[in-house]
Structure 1
Amino acid sequence: MSAEEDTFNPFECPTVKAPVNDDWAARREAVEAARAVIGKLVTTTSDAATLRSVAADLLRQAEILDQAPSLHGRLAFENGLHGTSRRLGYELNPLDGKSNPLAPPFNTWFEDGVAHGRAYLDWRYEGPPNTVHGGFVCAVFDQFLGIAQSLTGQPGPTGTLTTRMHRPTPLCTELHLIGRVKEVKGRKNILEGEIWANGIMTASAEGLFIHVSAERFRQLMSGPT
Structure 2
Amino acid sequence: MAELLTGAARDERRAAVADLGAALRELVDAAVRTEVAAPDLAAAAAAARRLAAELRAGGRGLFEVASVDDPVAGERWYSPVYGPGSPVAPPLLVESEGGGTVTARVTVPKALEGPPGLAHGGTIATLLDHVLARALRSAGRGGLTATLTVTYRRPVRLGVEHLLHAEVAGTEGRRSTARARIVAADDPGTVLAEGEGLFVALRPEAAAATFAGVDHAPEAWTARS
User: Which range, TM-score by smaller chain?
Assistant: 0.7 to 0.9
User: Which position in structure 2 is the counterpart of 1:28?
Assistant: 18
Determine if contact 2:17/2:84 at 8 Å carries over to the other structure: no
Alpha-carbon separation, structure 1, partners of 2:191 and 2:206: 37
Q: Distance in 2 between matches of 1:112 and 1:24?
A: 25
Among residues 148, 154, 168, which one is paired with 2:141 in the alignment? 154
Q: 1:131 touches 1:171 (CA, 8 Å); kept in 2?
A: yes
Match of 2:198 in 1: 208
2:65 corresponds in structure 1 to 77
Aligned to 1:47: 37
Matches within 5 A, 1:180-199: 180-197=167-184, 198-199=186-187
The residue type paired with residue 139 of structure 2 is T
Q: In structure 2, what is the Cα distance between the partners aligned to 1:58 and 1:41?
A: 11
Say which SS state the counterpart of residue 20 (structure 1) adopts: helix
Q: Distance in 1 between matches of 2:27 and 2:147?
A: 35
Equivalent residues in 2 for 1:119-198, closer than 5 Å = 119-197=106-184, 198=186
Q: Which deviates more from structure 2 when the two are superposed, residues 53-62 or residues 160-169? A: 53-62
Q: Which 4+ stretches in 1 moved above 4 angstroms?
A: none
Quote the offset at 1:85 in angstroms: 2.0
SS in 2 for 1:77: coil
- Distance in 2 between the 1:96 and 1:62 partners? 22
For residues 129-188 of structure 1, give each alpha carbon's deviation from its aligned partner in whole angstroms, at most 9, with x where no partner exists: 211000110011111111111133221000000000010011111110000111112211
Kindly indicate which of the two structures has a greater share of residues assigned to helix.
Answer: 1
Q: Tell me, in whole angstroms, the C-alpha distance in 1 between the residues paired with 2:130 and 2:68.
A: 22
SS in 2 for 1:164: strand
Deviations 1:81-111 (A, max 9, x none): 5453246743121211111112112111122
Percentage of pairs with the same residue: 27
Contact 1:152 1:189 in 2 (8 A): no
Match of residue 76 from structure 2: 90
User: For the residues of structure 1 that align with 2:46 and 2:130, how far apart are their CA atoms?
Assistant: 35
Bigger Cα displacement from structure 2, 34-43 vs 103-112: 103-112
Instruction: Note the residue ranges of structure 1 that are not aligned, 5 or more in a row.
Output: 9-17
Is the Cα–Cα contact under 8 Å of residues 151 and 181 in structure 1 kept in the other structure?
no
Read off the aligned partner of 2:23 and give its amino acid letter.
A
Amino acid at match of 1:222: A
Equivalent residue for 1:102? 88
Deviation of 1:202 after TM superposition, in Å, equals 0.5
Q: What's the offset of the Cα at 1:49?
A: 1.1
RMSD: 2.6
Q: TM-score, normalised by structure 2?
A: 0.82
For these two proteins, the number of residue pairs brought into alignment is 206
